[in-house]
Amino acid sequence: MLPKCIEKGKQEVPIQHVIASQRVPVKIWTDDVDERSRAQLANIASLPFIHHHVAAMPDVHLGIGATIGSVIATHKAIIPAAVGVDLGCGMVAARLSLTANELDEKALKKVFDQISRDVPVGRAQHDDNRVLVDAALPFEPGLKSLTERHPQLLKAFGKFSKWTNQMGTLGGGNHFIEVCLDEDDCVWVMLHSGSRGIGNAIAAYFIELARKDMERWMIQLPDRDLAYFPEGTEYFYDYVEAVHWAQEYAMQNRQSMLELVLDALKRHLPSFTVTTEAVNCHHNYVAKEHHYGADVWVTRKGAIRAREGDLGIVPGSMGARSFIVRGKGNPESFCSSAHGAGRRMSRTAAEKQFTEADMALQTQGVICRKDKGVIDEIPGAYKDIDVVMANQSDLTEILHTLKQLVCVKG
């Protein structure tokens, strides 16, 4: 039995715009959406296999082919570029028994330095003598099976052939590790990462295969990045298998990093325990689900699943608040929620507009990098997370509000 949204009675929902010019409508949970993103959403809605409607979350913004912050239900087809290149990217968070009065700035600076040493960030990976063997090796048979059918993948992996060394590593961009306080001054650890270089290589390989299929079948698309695999065709099930492998790898990567971070904290903070089971959720993935009377493939590109009772994480930018949420199971969003604040400007635009002084001001009170290398991640480059949360009051209930103390980025 496929997972199903809880069907509720008629309810007031904050859908702020509907694009009704295509084959199916696009329902948008914000009025902060630019024309290029609207065009992307309309392109998706024009495809013949889209189921019922397209849902755009309040953090929606321009992506490659498909907007980030979109939920796309499809009949018997998957769009690889809509799933994205960081397969299984997501969040994990856990609450600790520590409280604010057991922390001090000196100890937190040591924690920042320790995490930075223990968890490789950016393009770094674990040395051969520090590979997390127990976490990585269970993934070897699945990858071997995939590469036997697609030997070209081995070439595509290139420098990521040492994928075992990337287990338990952060990556760069908007990936982060944070130590936070909630509304009761309880300490949380939270981090954001995905399937690293190996997931990116797998995604890029299949995206290119989908494009070649479109050319071979002479299928005209509004955007070449909307190339798709129809169910039952040559590469469809191999792609589904590869995505599942990468999603599981991403989830284990986050769990392994969480363990490394907890060990780093134990070296500099008073003794503690983890008081809640970790919330570990994807926000770039595809899964088979049941919606509006049909079994469909649901692609969440920068969105989390939010069935009734589902726990999720919606992070703000550095220096802003983040949220632990519980889903309300709203069928109009395909039981989904925003995955974060969402960018309001590109990385290039942020680097041109902001300075290191701006970075220091906007991240005041947070122990983090404040240099030129992370200006593209400045809070001012992102939407207001409080507005995002207000715009999805029908999608999630806020359980905890977190404020960063420490933020480690690639």
pLDDT tens string 1-31: 444 444 444 445 589 999 999 999 999 999 9
Given 51, 192, 339, 400, the catalytic residue: 339
Bridge-based pairing state of the strands 396-409 and 229-230? unpaired
| C-alpha separations of 268 from 109, 112, 134, 188, 272 in Å | 10, 10, 26, 15, 11
Domains, the chain, in order of start with CATH, read 17-344+382-409 (3.90.1860.10)
Q: What is the pLDDT of residue 204?
A: 94
How many whole angstroms separate alpha carbon 120 and alpha carbon 194? Answer: 14
Instruction: Give residue-wise pLDDT tens across range 284-320.
Output: 999 999 999 999 999 999 999 999 999 999 999 887 8
C-alpha–C-alpha distance, residues 269 and 258, integer Å: 16
Q: What sections of 279-375 are H helices per DSSP?
A: 347-353, 356-362
CB 291 within 8 A of CB 5: yes
| 76 residue type, one letter | K
Is 51 among the catalytic positions? no
Pairing of strands 279-282, 90-99: antiparallel
Amino acid at site 100: A
Q: For position 159, what pLDDT does the model report?
A: 62
User: Structure tokens of 208?
Assistant: 């290119």
CA quadruple 361, 366, 369, 370: dihedral, nearest 10:
0
Q: What does pTM read for this prediction?
A: 0.93
Q: How far apart are CA 196 and CA 243, in angstroms?
A: 13
Q: In what order do the strands lie in the sheet with 279-282?
A: 279-282, 90-99, 186-193, 176-181, 396-409, 321-327, 311-314
Q: Give Cα 340 distance to the centre of its chain.
A: 8
DSSP 3-state assignment of 287? Answer: strand
pLDDT attached to residue 276: 82
Sign of CA dihedral 315, 320, 324, 330: negative
Q: Tell me, what amino acid is at 339?
A: H
pLDDT for the residue numbered 144 = 93
pLDDT per residue rounded down to tens, the chain (410 residues): 444 444 444 445 589 999 999 999 999 999 999 999 999 999 999 999 999 999 999 999 999 989 999 999 999 999 999 999 999 999 999 999 999 999 999 999 999 999 999 999 998 999 999 999 999 999 999 999 999 999 998 887 776 678 999 999 999 988 999 999 999 999 999 999 999 999 999 999 999 999 999 999 999 999 999 999 999 999 999 999 999 999 999 999 999 999 999 999 999 999 999 998 789 999 999 999 999 999 999 999 999 999 999 999 999 988 789 999 999 999 999 999 999 998 888 889 999 999 999 999 999 999 999 999 899 989 899 999 999 999 999 999 999 999 999 999 97
